[in-house]
A and B are shown apart, each in its own frame.
Chain A
Amino acid sequence: MKITKRIFVQLTAGAVLAVGAVMAPIQAVAAEKLVIVTSYPPDTTVTVGKAFTKATGIKVEMLKKKTTAGIKYLQATAANNTSDMFWASAPDAFEVLKGDGLLQKYTVKVKGIPEKVGAFPINDPEGYYKGFAASGYGIMWNTRYLKAKKLPVPNSWADLEKPIYHGHVGMSAPSRSGTTHLTVETLLQGEGWEKGWARWKDIAGNFKTVTARSFGVPDGVNSGQFGVGVVIDFFGLSSKASGFPVDFLYPKMTTLVPANIAIVKNAPNPGLAGQFIEFLLSPEGQEVLLDPKIRRLPVNPATYAKAPKGFPNPFKDKSIGSAVKFDLQLSKSRYNIINSLFDVMITYRLDDLRAATKAIQTAEAKSKGNAGAMKLIKQARALVSKVPITAAKASEKDFNSIFKKKRKKATTKVTGRQAEFEQAWDTEIKANYAKAKQLAEKAASM
């Protein structure tokens, strides 16, 4: 009996606790609150959220998801939506949501925001999402690392191809990070399909790693796992502002793209969401972006007057982000193919690519002036940079539909499966890298 009673008491206590716990979150939900799904770190969301609450008295709840997970989340919960806004960097993520009919239009009241930053329009022409800051890709490096390994500071993409950086460079993959995708695409558009890929592979041959998260790159540079990283500007600028021994620069060929915000369709509080957008674009809101922990480029040119010395200003310094006229339609037409090609040729075959690159670099250093060897090396390079499909094929509509996320309608004619193509590419690429390595080794022994 004694034991039974004790158990009963414990059970009751447990039940009371459980009920209390159930009740607590309900009360929390009752207050009117803006729910924002965002890919930004707390440094950004908390700082902006606090400023917003201070200015308007409205409470904000930030829901942190990786961009891709955020999209999945909004898609999966669309039938019973509880989120008000989506707030992230990559414009293509917003394109996906727009395409799925998950966003609603909004017209901004604030004045003073220009049409374009660099060569890129700031707002969605159809009015579904708004740019609130600009970002561009660039190179960041760890000063202690470069000093210890006696490496020079890189200042263009081409620098990263140099043998001296072998094993010191890190980057994320376009399929993992929307902004990395933009960088890859920018270079392809700037240099052309074949030359662009050749450049990427030459850089990738020096990779220490392809990180699975976009933040893995600044993280690796900050902690000194590798010395040089290809990153979006605010990762570099905010790392520097947090005291890490790192620095950042924009190479000539970069694209500035707006980071965006949009209201989710059937948002529970569309009115509050509108106020958030207005705040973000107001002079006060724009100034928050200059906070050392955030460091994004404001879209209101007037805000730069308050920026610290040396802060890049794309509205004044026309060399930032204007070398390439970014073609959004072209990018869209081959979005998934680029992801897939990069993964097949670089991410998953990094060891093979690195080995081939190392062999070529060694051979080149050894056989200066030896015409026979140089010829072999040229062949090896050609093999490494070979891309399995042409630019025209990559943008072909039917071909792209094989790589689409959604199941096609019965009317679209599709032959072949993604896995089938990737497997064929992989076989070809692996053989090419192995052959290139062989040729380079032969050249080195000549």
Chain B
Amino acid sequence: MNSFSRSQWGAGGLALLIGLFLFVFLIVPVVKVVYVAFQDPNTGALTLINFVDFFNTSLFRESFLNSIYVAGGAVLLASLISIPLAYFTTRFNFGGAVLIQTLGIVPLIMPPFVGAVAMLLLFGENGSVNLLIDEWFGFTIPFMEGLNGVILVEAIHYFPFILINLSAALLNIDSAMEESAQNLGASGTRLFRRIVFPLAMPGYVAGASLVFLKVFDDLGTPLLLNINNMLAPQAYLRISSIGISDPMGYVISVILVVFSLFSLWVSFLALKNKDYATVQKGGGGLMKRDLRPWEKIGCYAVIILILLMVLSPHIGLALLSFGTVWSYSVLPDAYTFAHYGNVFRTATQYISNTLLYAGLAALIDVVLGTAIAYIVWRTGLIGRKWLDYIAMGAVAVPGVVLGIGYLRTFVEFNVPIIDKPLSSWWVIIVIALVIRRLPYALRACMAGLQQVSIMLEEAAENLGATKTRTVRRIVVPLMSGGIMAGFIISFATASVELSATIMLVSAESDAPLAYGIYEFMQSAAGRGPGAALGIVAVLIVGIATYISHRVIKRREKELAPGVAVAAQGV
């Protein structure tokens, strides 16, 4: 009993620290901005009139429905892409499984606005594909038109959220479950539908809810495709225009936050009262089997087709980075290395900055994510769920709002020693990234922890391990798949973040990659170098992701003997 209360103290202190961090760097800045939504534009008094205006305006109602339509459509399309990829690679002995899982993550490491540029060149009304179709058949297909264009780009960009979380969940399924089902006569799609997929549900819901939220408040893609009638673009257009006082942008921000929280709550409900934990861990997840030759061909065909589609932005970008002039033609007019030369002469600081910022941010994120997951699921602290809600709330805060909030909040806080306002110190960019990416890491850690049976911890404690030791030796290693997934997602997406950082960069020497690409892409002669920088970014983050994959694989092997013994005991 004694050790229990002591551990509660430790967890309580930790929870308090995390809460304080979230309060200072998330709640205060956001409240500073959002406050405007509740002010009467004329008198400054507190009021709800702006919300009445919102729901009275048909444009906003339309935008709201469009946003939901796009977010829902993107989840659907992203699921169609990621479920086969996750299933095939975790279920079968496949030569290129690691490669495919790495390539599958690559779409995340391109800023969506860059992806949209490349997609337009390939699939736009006068893009390569349509020019060819038009020449051969005399018609064109509107891939990129209107809301459906947004869905296509978003799904291709964000599906890895589902892929990563679902793969992690599939790897954690106890193969005994599957064996039992098979013994009882289930096989094929029935086995997948009734046993495998339901068991992987936490991972799928975690991924799908992230996709929904991200798409719901993504700004870059609709803006690039010139779609204005969605909530996030409306908020951005209104907040960032000069001379518009109107509080509607802030009202929309509030509505984005509230609606996102609501959909999170729905996903909580969906998983509530169900126990997904499986006792045995590290046993390799699903049984892997070899494919028969014709099955192998089929699998490869599906995977290659999907990869070709999801990597099309990269293919387009690569062409752009090597091309001289690419205008109203199927392929660039000629090829050159000049753009890469340009980038390596002028833009290397963007690369090193990005590695530093994204690496630090992802590290802090998984530490916070693990801690919050543990506090929520393993302690009885009052209000612990709020840590989760608040941290997840960050996903619903548009980057621009966070950026403006930081500028407003921290401009007068001078950092000692370097004597500069915190808002123009590069560390603020890291903090913004930590806050922006915490929800990803947190969801992955949560899913990881949810699948660890509490019995294992109880067993360790019965054997005399302290709480700290249990966490370190049992919980963290067992949820390492989730933690690693969280790290990879946070790192990869943090390295291409633009919306918050564009407000916070105060010196070019502190600027990250996405900012550099954006800057290049704002001039006619900069399109090639911008694309080259984008390719460099994709390569670097891709390699980093691949290496971390290898690292977990090796760690898993190191841990394997011990776990196997434990598993036999159960």
Residues in chain A within 8 A of chain B (CB atoms): 14, 18, 21-22, 25-26, 28-29, 35, 41-44, 46, 61-69, 71-73, 76-77, 79-80, 82, 92-93, 96, 142, 144-145, 148, 175-176, 178, 209-213, 215-216, 218-219, 222-225, 235, 238-239, 241-246, 293, 335-336, 339-340, 343, 347-348, 402-408, 410, 414-415, 417-420, 422-423, 426-427, 430
CB distance from B405 to the nearest CB of A (A): 10
Contact of B505 among A63, A67, A216, A410 (CB under 8 A): A63
Contact of A212 among B43, B226, B326, B521 (CB under 8 A): B226
Which chain B residues (190-228) contact chain A, with CB distance < 8 Å?
Answer: 223-224, 226, 228
Chain B residues with CB below 8 A from A243, complex form: 324-325
Tell me if B423 counts as interface (CB < 8 A to partner A).
yes
Contact A41–B241 (Cβ < 8 Å): no
CB distance from B491 to the nearest CB of A (A): 15
Chain B residues with CB below 8 A from A340, complex form: 244
Contact A73–B407 (Cβ < 8 Å): yes
- Distance, CA A435 to CA B408, complexed state (A): 47
CB distance from B416 to the nearest CB of A (A): 13
Contact A419–B245 (Cβ < 8 Å): no
Contact A64–B508 (Cβ < 8 Å): yes
Contact B525–A418 (Cβ < 8 Å): no
Contact of A244 among B41, B233, B325 (CB under 8 A): B325
CB distance from A351 to the nearest CB of B (A): 8
Contact A426–B412 (Cβ < 8 Å): no
Contact A148–B41 (Cβ < 8 Å): no
- Distance, CA A335 to CA B242, complexed state (A): 10
Contact of A209 among B42, B53, B226, B424 (CB under 8 A): B226
A244-B522 CB under 8 A given contacts A73-B407, A213-B223, A422-B57: no
Known: A67-B242, A244-B325. 10 other contacts (CB 8 A): A61-B508, A61-B509, A63-B508, A68-B242, A213-B223, A225-B125, A403-B245, A403-B246, A414-B42, A419-B248
Contact of A418 among B44, B124, B246, B346 (CB under 8 A): B246
Contact B508–A77 (Cβ < 8 Å): no
Chain A residues with CB below 8 A from B124, complex form: 223, 225
Chain A residues with CB below 8 A from B471, complex form: none
- Distance, CA A142 to CA B328, complexed state (A): 8
- Distance, CA A239 to CA B523, complexed state (A): 8
A96-B242 CB under 8 A given contacts A213-B223, A244-B327: yes
CB distance from B124 to the nearest CB of A (A): 5
Could you give 16 example pairs across A and B, Cβ below 8 Å?
A: A21-B356, A22-B427, A64-B519, A69-B240, A77-B411, A77-B424, A96-B242, A96-B243, A148-B328, A178-B242, A212-B233, A218-B524, A238-B525, A245-B327, A348-B228, A403-B245
Contact B360–A41 (Cβ < 8 Å): no
- Distance, CA A18 to CA B361, complexed state (A): 12
A417-B524 CB under 8 A given contacts A63-B506, A225-B120: no
Tell me if B552 counts as interface (CB < 8 A to partner A).
no
Contact A210–B41 (Cβ < 8 Å): no
Contact A410–B126 (Cβ < 8 Å): no
Contact B245–A223 (Cβ < 8 Å): no
Contact A238–B523 (Cβ < 8 Å): yes
Residues in chain B within 8 A of chain A (CB atoms): 39-44, 49-50, 53-54, 56-59, 117, 120-121, 124-126, 223-224, 226, 228-229, 233, 237, 240-248, 324-329, 346, 356, 360, 363, 404, 407-408, 411-412, 414, 418, 420-421, 423-424, 426-427, 502-503, 505-510, 515, 519-527
A420-B53 CB under 8 A given contacts A69-B503, A178-B242: yes
- Distance, CA A419 to CA B250, complexed state (A): 12
Contact B526–A41 (Cβ < 8 Å): yes
Contact of B412 among A80, A223, A348, A422 (CB under 8 A): A80
Chain B residues with CB below 8 A from A212, complex form: 223-224, 226, 228, 233, 237
CB distance from B393 to the nearest CB of A (A): 23
Most chain A CB atoms below 10 A, which of B42, B43, B242 = B242
The 8 A-B pairs at the shortest CB distance, nearest first, are namely A224-B328, A41-B523, A419-B53, A239-B524, A76-B407, A418-B246, A242-B525, A144-B328
Chain B residues with CB below 8 A from A246, complex form: 327
CB distance from A236 to the nearest CB of B (A): 9
CB distance from B67 to the nearest CB of A (A): 14
The chain A residue sitting closest to B502, CB to CB, is A69
Contact B246–A222 (Cβ < 8 Å): no
The chain B residue sitting closest to A216, CB to CB, is B226
Contact A419–B57 (Cβ < 8 Å): yes
Contact B519–A76 (Cβ < 8 Å): no
Chain A residues with CB below 8 A from B503, complex form: 69, 72-73
Contact B414–A426 (Cβ < 8 Å): no
- Distance, CA A426 to CA B63, complexed state (A): 14
A35-B507 CB under 8 A given contacts A178-B242, A417-B53: yes
A80-B519 CB under 8 A given contacts A142-B328, A426-B58: no
Contact of B523 among A25, A175, A293 (CB under 8 A): A293
CB distance from B338 to the nearest CB of A (A): 12
CB distance from B407 to the nearest CB of A (A): 4
Contact B524–A235 (Cβ < 8 Å): yes
A293-B525 CB under 8 A given contacts A61-B509, A144-B328: yes
Contact B229–A348 (Cβ < 8 Å): yes
Contact A68–B240 (Cβ < 8 Å): yes
The chain B residue sitting closest to A293, CB to CB, is B525
Contact A245–B523 (Cβ < 8 Å): no
Contact A222–B523 (Cβ < 8 Å): no
Chain B residues with CB below 8 A from A223, complex form: 120-121, 124, 326-328
